[in-house]
């Protein structure tokens, strides 16, 4: 059975004291049994965050990582470095990485491989831009992103994959995909996984929705049969809002 997951992507927000303050606020809430909760602070605060939530049922994950094992890649962080501070999961291919840091499907495929080689889980993000949706090309774009970035992994490796559909036009814009649009794409993606792998693998993979999820809309988005949770940006920065989303299943 697939897991319900709510992951908070803090992006480039929260210095060390702010990280600790938000974690303390989160720790005032009880995490329900039916949801896996993750938070992704910036690299520099991962170790602190990991130590801070040791006794609490929230997993600390990374926002990105580099595909190489080690070496002359100034400013980058490897899978082994993440693992050494307790991180076992990383977001890969967030649309901000794709758009602002020129990460291509080919690069993302290498990042997924590096994560798998280190027995780490990837939250693999994909999603169309507004023009793609307007021109009706959104299904093709998503198919291409998955085929080029992800579908080379072996059947067995899919247990270390979480999918996150994030339509770019809905990220940080306040505009959310309707529950019907989210369900339609998630169902399509599950079908792609069935075709490329097996029905069992497709039924077991969690597909998260991301893009302006808030306490006010989380319930109706999560109620869809193929939506297994959310990747949350802005609303993850306030403990009350984030935990209200976590409690929306």
Is residue 194 exposed (0-12), middle (13-18) or buried (19+ Cβ within 10 Å)?
A: middle
Task: Considering the complex, state which of residue 66 and residue 98 has its C-beta at the smaller distance from ligand PGA.
Answer: 98
Q: How far is the CB of 74 from ligand PGA (least distance, A)?
A: 26
Is 94 an annotated catalytic residue?
A: yes
Alpha helices in the chain (DSSP H): 16-27, 46-52, 79-84, 95-100, 105-117, 130-134, 138-149, 179-196, 199-204, 215-222, 239-246
Please tell me which residue in 94, 96, 103, 138 is annotated as part of the active site.
94
Alpha-carbon distance of 228 to 159, in angstroms, equals: 15
125 token code pair? 């993000």
Is residue 68 exposed (0-12), middle (13-18) or buried (19+ Cβ within 10 Å)?
A: middle
Q: How far is the CB of 176 from ligand PGA (least distance, A)?
A: 8
Please tell me which residue in 128, 138, 166, 186 is annotated as part of the active site.
166
63 binds ligand PGA (CB under 6 A): no
Q: How far is the CB of 173 from ligand PGA (least distance, A)?
A: 7
Q: Tell me the angle at which helices 239-246 and 16-27 cross, rounded to the nearest 10 degrees.
A: 40
User: Which residue from 146, 177, 202, 231 is in contact with ligand PGA, where contact means CB under 6 A?
Assistant: 231
Is 51 an annotated catalytic residue?
A: no
| Stretch of residues binding ligand PGA (CB under 6 A), selected from 41-49, 72-80, 140-148, 207-215 | 207-215
Q: How far is the CB of 247 from ligand PGA (least distance, A)?
A: 17
Count of beta carbons in the 10 Å neighbourhood of residue 178? 12
User: Which residue from 177, 232, 239, 246 is in contact with ligand PGA, where contact means CB under 6 A?
Assistant: 232
User: Which residue from 22, 213, 221, 239 is in contact with ligand PGA, where contact means CB under 6 A?
Assistant: 213
Task: Considering the complex, state which of residue 45 and residue 118 has its C-beta at the smaller distance from ligand PGA.
Answer: 45
**Site residues for ligand PGA, window 148-187 (CB under 6 A)?**
166, 171-172
Under 8 Å CB-to-CB from 202, ≥6 apart: which residues?
Answer: 190, 191, 193, 194
Q: How many residues bind ligand PGA (CB under 6 A)?
A: 13
Residues carrying an active site annotation: 94, 166
Footprint of ligand PGA (CB under 6 A) = 9, 166, 171-172, 210-213, 231-235
């Amino acid at each position: 059975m697939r897991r319900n997951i709510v992951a908070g992507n803090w992006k480039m927000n929260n210095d060390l004291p702010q990280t600790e303050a938000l974690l303390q606020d989160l720790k005032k809430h009880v995490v329900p049994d039916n949801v896996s909760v993750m938070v992704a602070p910036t690299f520099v605060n991962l170790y602190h965050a990991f130590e801070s939530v040791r006794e609490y049922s929230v997993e600390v994950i990374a926002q990105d990582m580099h595909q190489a094992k080690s070496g002359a890649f100034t400013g980058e962080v490897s899978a082994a470095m993440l693992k050494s501070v307790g991180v076992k999961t990383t977001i890969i291919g967030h649309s901000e990485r794709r758009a602002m840091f020129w990460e291509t499907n080919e690069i993302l495929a290498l990042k997924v491989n590096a994560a798998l080689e280190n027995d780490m889980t990837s939250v693999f993000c994909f999603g169309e831009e507004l023009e793609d949706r307007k021109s009706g090309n959104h299904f093709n774009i998503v198919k291409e992103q998955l085929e080029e970035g992800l579908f080379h992994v072996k059947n067995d490796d899919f247990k270390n994959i979480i999918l996150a559909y994030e339509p770019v036009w809905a990220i940080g814009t306040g505009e959310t995909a309707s529950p019907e649009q989210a369900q339609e794409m998630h169902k399509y993606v599950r079908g792609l996984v069935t075709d490329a792998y097996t029905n069992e693998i497709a039924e077991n993979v969690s597909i998260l929705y991301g893009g302006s999820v808030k306490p006010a809309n989380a319930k109706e988005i999560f109620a869809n049969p193929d939506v297994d949770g959310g990747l949350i940006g802005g609303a993850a920065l306030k403990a009350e809002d984030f935990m209200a989303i976590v409690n929306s299943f």
